[in-house]
Amino acid sequence: MYDGKKVLVTGGTGFIGTNLVERLLNLGANVRTVSRGIRKNILPSKVEVVRDDLTNLQSCRSAAKGMDYVFHLAAAGGGLVYNMNHPAGTLTPNLLINTNMLEGARIENVQRYLFTSSSSVYPPNLEVLEEEKAWEGNPHGSDSFFAWSKRIGELQARAYVDEYGMSIALVRLGNPYGPGDNFDPETSHVIPALVHKAVNKVNPFVVWGAGEAVRSFVHVKDVVNAMTQVLEVYPICDPVNIATGESVKVKDLVKMVLELTNYKGELKFDTSKPEGHLLKVMSVKKLQDKVGYRPMINLREGIRDTIKWYLNR
């Protein structure tokens, strides 16, 4: 489906975006990216790189002009701490970006569009995050502003399908990690934050919470492979989780990272700090049944791969 097609990746110089661009190039696509350019651009020279502000409709129209498909990944925000400290700086830009990018794609007659949502949209009372249960309660308070921006983005996608007949896929990502991730301790998510501290021998090694929170993680290569497959075979505005089905307690994840980095310092769990939603394990049944995709990289292998990439840089 992608061979010779013109494909826009918003947020294409970010973590998932750079990996998605590589995947699309391997599938024969001609790729354009657009982002604020905050992260260093490491994309191949044949990729058209546009630096622009997607909170502006005209910028979104220009980015989508002439494109066959759009993968919308661009988002404002960071890890749990950043999002908690910047509620307005998370919610408002995301509402503008999502609204204007979707409208720009509609005006420019994009054939297919993928909206990237998140596991944060799910309420905290679910043991297994099944797609149809996302609206059974409010999102967890620790990340509610980011979560609501994603929920509203999903609603907007449904509205555009119903009114304009657009072909839109929806994916909800688990906790992606892997080569190319953001390792900035101020804005990074859990695995790169742990790897950064372990490799740099931060001592004591302090982890927020008691480490009892349960998470599922998915390697970025599995994420982008699944995303391209969802847009190809299931572009019907029915959300699909992209995860592995594996789950791990944070304290066991920490011990795995420390073991793989040969860390010998003191480990402390700071129970005075929040640790977010205690249970986030995503169902992958729809990903397997509707899309036919099964993730290939297990957690230990993926963390070893991530550590190796970080050490090399």
pLDDT along the chain (313 residues), means of 10: 98 93 98 77 86 95 98 82 77 96 98 96 90 93 87 98 98 93 83 95 92 90 98 98 91 96 94 77 95 94 96 91
Distance CA 105, CA 71 (A): 11
Query: Does residue 194 lie within any of the structural domains?
Result: no
Query: Does residue 110 lie within any of the structural domains?
Result: yes
Q: What is the pLDDT of residue 282?
A: 92
Question: How many structural domains does the chain have?
Answer: 1
Query: Does residue 50 lie within any of the structural domains?
Result: yes
Query: Does residue 311 lie within any of the structural domains?
Result: no
Query: Does residue 187 lie within any of the structural domains?
Result: no
Global pTM?
Answer: 0.90
Question: Domain range holding 14?
Answer: 6-177+218-243+281-296
Query: What ranges in the chain are assigned the alpha helix state H?
Result: 15-26, 57-64, 80-85, 87-107, 144-164, 190-199, 220-233, 250-260, 285-286, 299-312
> Which CATH number goes with the domain that contains 121?
3.40.50.720
Among positive and negative, which fits the CA dihedral 122, 126, 132, 136? negative
**CA–CA distances in Å: residue 164 to residues 49, 63, 100, 194:** 29, 20, 15, 44
